[in-house]
Chain A
Amino acid sequence: MSTQTAHQTEEPDQAGSPMTLTADRPAAGAATTERPAKIRRRGQSSPLATVLSHGTLIVASLVALFPVLYIAYISLGPDDNDYLHPAKIFDKMTFANYTKVMNDTGFFTWFGNSAIVAGGTTVIGVLIAASTGYAVSRMRFPGYRQLMWTLLVTQMFPIAVLIVPMYYILSNLGMLDSYTGLILVYSSTTVPYCAWLLKGYFDTIPMEIDEAGRVDGLSPIGTFWRLILPLARPGLAVAAFYSFLTAWGEVAYASTFMLSSDKYTLAVGLSSFVSEHDHQWQLMAATSVLIALPAAVVFYLVQRHLVTGLTAGAAKS
């Protein structure tokens, strides 16, 4: 709408203009003298459009922020039913829920477990996804199409089909209740998408770089490791972010495969603690904030890479 207005100001004499404009032609002629003041360059928009877009974006931002702020606010209320009367919390804000959750549970053990599992998933998942992504981006080999199809289909697997057989396999391999087992399970859920995404990113890196590396005597794996990976940092950042998030907040697999309470991840441990304290929503809220904080830190570290990293993947695959 706005740009249309811009059009009319710029080219009032355009053939085929609406009737009103033709009727106003003398006025439009008069307006020509003021034109230099009104002219807008392409990409600039009218004040109305600016106000409208800021308005929309502000509303959207509020919608995006509100649930996060709300839960943080609720977590400061000391009593069970405070979530029903949020206004009352304001006068009695306290960090008591946080101290309770941290002192009465194996918080730091679980935090460590989560860090190991999520960190392990991120490193292993991204590494093997990257090497696969590079192979399918640069090399055509028998089985290429089948592999791409598998990577897509694997994302369709419902957790309900996999979880029982996975339990059997892990128990046969002696990997139940172990970090390795859970890291591998998470990797199997994150790798297909990450490989797909990274293939797209590698596709945007010119082949000439590989060729230069090869001419200088690097092996394909050396080229990948020394030249391509450093160039693919935005793609890797997105893959890492995705893997970390998946592993950090996951509950279903973790609660099935981690049996002893000193191996619980943060999400499993804290939700079991909360379910023992039935309906103590304020504790649950504090718990949620504690789980969300590390994810927010990782998010902040990678966010500037998100647009470039994601899109290359989507644009080319």
Chain B
Amino acid sequence: MTWTWSNVWHWAAHPLSWPGFVGMLVGAVLVLLLALLVVMYSIYWQRKFIGWIQWRIGPNRVGPWGLFQTVADVLKLLIKEDVIPTGVDRTLFLIAPIFAFVPAFLVLSIIPFSAHHVFTANLGIGVLFYVAVSAITIHGVMLGGWSSNNKWGLIGGMRSAAQMLSYEVPLGMSIVGVVLMAGTLNLNDIVAAQAHTLWYVIPQIVGFVVFIIAGTAEMNRTPFDLPEAESELVAGYHVEYSGFRFAFFMLTEYVYLLAMGGLMATLFLGGWTGPFLPGWLWFAIKVFAFITFQFWLQATMPRMRQDQLMSFSWKVLLPLAMANLVITAVVKALV
């Protein structure tokens, strides 16, 4: 096995070696740090942006323009006492946040952040991997709600599981349209296929709309934030959590925001391709647009009702995604 220094960063194309393994570890740590940084400033941007929408200033006390507000919040959560209520199912209560977070971080491993996908895998089944692994998070949410031994927690966990399970189907179906057009499941190849033609958001506009709606529901964000509906469920599945276990659930939510934004940019907006600017910057701009759009929705939309939610997924989104899929297939066969 020949080995050169360049293999450290291009481990995906070579057989496994020790330096390649170290490169993998460093890559994983870098992606984790990136995710944490993005999460921190997504929360800051959420508060600032919604503040502006609501004619307020938003956080402005900690650091210049309140830039360290989230840092302070995270520090507070980390040094808080780790409260475990007496009535809980102890083992599950302790591991549920881990179940929720690990898949959220795992899916980042396939998102092509830049033209030279140094830290992420060039996986032949990329899109499917995302859909499959993100489903594991449902366990964490559901078990967190159940093990809390709290009626709001249980209802929130159940709602969340039902919602994420049923919106996963239209989400997957909307992705299949893109996969059909690109002829591959590999995210890097999908980006390359869009670079040759045009961004799939134009021919796949129906799939794009379904993807955005189902993705919002999959992340439990407004207008689909029924699992955490403050006004009726207090906080839903994480009502009994505090300190860093609560932080883990929040982290999961915002890492998924980043991952879903990355997936959307890759599938529909051409990933890192774009004129003039470097690839990673284009990717960042697209993800930022997605995240900002989510916060805009959050400040604008009221919450849906539970009975509307389920029938909307199965009776509107799924047939729409199916029709899109059939039309894409017919067009592809004819052209």
The answer to whether A binds B is no
Residues of A bordering B, CB below 8 Å: none
